[in-house]
Amino acid sequence: MQLHTYLNFNGQCEEAFEFYKSIFGGDILFMMRNSDAPMAKDMPADKLNRVMHARIMIAGQIVMGSDVPEDCAEKPQGFSVTINTPDPAEAERVFNALNVGAEVRMPLEETFWAVRFGMLTDRFGIPWMVNCERPMPA
């Protein structure tokens, strides 16, 4: 069994995945547009370039996403995509990279459980937590 994150966007899936690729590296493994679907001939022209399904591999983990129909687009809530790293410098790099056009909900800082922890909602509306935990006592 595998557990994957699936992100919904309102027309920005490709841009978001390219942005995430620039931050995390990895590869966009698959990107299908509405224009690639058998029912493309029945779709309005302005919907053809929207992403029907995409998949990116980041640090050995799969993240999937798509552009949902406009009338189904909702603000993401009740979850955060969480990045855990043992390296405080990497936590800072990731947080700062995601922070382009983002809304910071908690600045990246030291907490009682982490050397660095911060929360933001990126420019695509996706909530993130960046975490660099303190080493656990032996």
Each residue's pLDDT tens digit, 111-130? 999 999 999 999 999 999 99
Say how many C-beta atoms besides its own lie within 10 A of residue 9's C-beta.
Answer: 22
Is the pLDDT at 135 greater than 90, yes or no?
A: no
Q: What is the pLDDT of residues 21-61, one digit of tens each?
A: 999 998 999 999 988 888 888 887 888 889 999 999 998 99
- What is the dihedral sign for C-alpha 66, 67, 71, 76? positive
Is the pLDDT at 138 greater than 90, yes or no?
A: no
> pTM value?
0.91
Q: β-strands 27-33, 51-58: how paired?
A: antiparallel
Residue 34's pLDDT is 85
